[in-house]
Structure 1
Amino acid sequence: MKAISYRRYGGPDVLEYGERPEPKLGPDSVLVEVRAAAVNPVDWKCREGYLDGILDAVLPVIPCWDLAGVVVRPGAAVTEFAAGDEVIGYVREDFLARGTCAQYVAAPVRTLAHKPRSLGFPEAAALPLAGLTAYQVLHRVLRVRPGETVLVHTATGAVGSLAVQLARHLGARVIGAARAAGQEHIRARGGEPVTYGDDLTAQVRALVPDGVDAAFDTIGGDILRTTPTMLAPGGRLASIADSGVTDLGGSYAFVRPDPADLAELAGLAEQGVLTADVARTFPLEQAADAFRHAEAGGTGGKVVIVPEPVD
């Protein structure tokens, strides 16, 4: 099969396009023909070795964890999926080796759900990691309830945009923080925009004088450290970007594959509650360019790699 892989850590130039062995199919996995694979920030952090302290790399590594595709063959123990089923997946394992930037992947059933019929493959591939991150933080960490007010940082990003939509679906009022260029995007997703700057706390307090009930941080650093000034007494804080949030009394969250959560997201997308934005697609052989484009930021949506059809 055709795939992208890297034999050493480094920048986009270490990515190689070529033939790799078709993956073996274990009893609890399904062989998926990949129709689209989304690029996430964690993918280039893995490629550059930043996660080497927690994830072993079995070189050569095929990058990326998000996919949308079609089941070719289920494993011997699988009853959840059949050949021909369209699926989405956050195909993360506890080591780096067999990612989704390939024509085929053997995906454990615990990482998959049926694809929303209303979405094309690129849009569907943009949903799993970002959607699961937003869903799990809002539901399990911040435990957002109807009538509360939630602050979402980088509300125009992949995770932030979905968090705005999910929090609104939960019945919360949402304040979305972003650069000035993203204000209309936040409004279109149901949020009330504020603009990053020295007066961010004042802007939030002008909208919510008593402070927000919950804050969802996606960037860390100085923005995270100023966020407690925007919270109401007893307000909750979670970050997916900076483990230092625990020093501020908040919670650090790391997304995990969950088929029930993924199926819930797929259902919400089917109902039109969720929209995952795609900025640009690239063919598999141009994956290095796709990574460069994604790493440059400011894309206004996900960068998605589309493998060539299998004969």
Structure 2
Amino acid sequence: MIRILKWLSVVSALGMVFVLIGGALVTKTDSGMGCGASWPLCEGKFMPTDITPELVIELSHRMISGIMGVVVLLLSFLSWKYLGHIREVKFLSFMSSFFLILQALIGAAAVIWNQSDFVMAAHFGISLISFTAIFLLMLLIFEVDKKFDTASLHIAKRHRIEIYMITIYTLIVVYTGALVRHTNASLVCGDWPFCRNDEPLAALNFVQWVQMGHRLFAGILFIWTVVLFIRVIKNYRQNRVMFWGWVATMSLIVLQVFFGAMVIFTQLNLGISLMHAFVISLYFSMLSYFVLLATRCAKYEKENESNIEGETSSR
């Protein structure tokens, strides 16, 4: 059964990548209404007759999301049943299914009733949480036969707190990035990293402030990641998981900044824009894995303190 779960988890994780990229593609090509105000059918039909590029993109995204919904629900059920004794499995099984269903419902509501830009900006973040839960569930499944050895890892409390904080902050950055696209603010600033070199900040309009707000938040995230990376390398160089995990995380944030700049320089090139969405998904997933490791360390630390107190009182 473990072998089946491994294959199922890999398929689910890869499939969710297509769901994430597909959702970003729908947004970036303005294909959200490609099937009209109809859901789950397209224009109220099983086989629409008037085929447009927007219809193909939207319908493909719906089909992939539907298939992955079934696969993820199956993965969640089997993981809960056979690996429920592992502390994080039940939580991640619930999170992966719940947020996948939630993002589908928000997408449906946007088609049928329409939604504000501020509500729709949360759609990508919800899909991201579902993908991350599936990604972590996959790592736990592979961890069953010690593919990843983290038992000896100890993360200091101050570093655990910082990992929690930067992960939550990343969701804020993701939301502001999605808001940029939904408010059509992607190209309102002609320069980078500033909006317009010859224009004072006071002269910026609302959508320019949305764009510059995202750049500011993203810049802070980049600097924060660099600082935390240095601390991790300094304190956990001997641990392979922490060392190589943070090397990967640092590489991803550098790529994210690069693709963010290239989105402006290439005038919203579709491939670059999709890579921008893909890289931040991997970055957030890596941070979430460190959150998982940090919560384990906190649990072991608390258990050890309880054992020491128990031994002391028995004397």
TM-score past 0.5 threshold: no
Look at both structures and tell me which one has the larger radius of gyration over its CA atoms: 2
Q: Flag the structure with higher helix content.
A: 2
TM-score range, shorter chain: under 0.3
Using the size of structure 1 for normalisation, the TM-score is 0.24
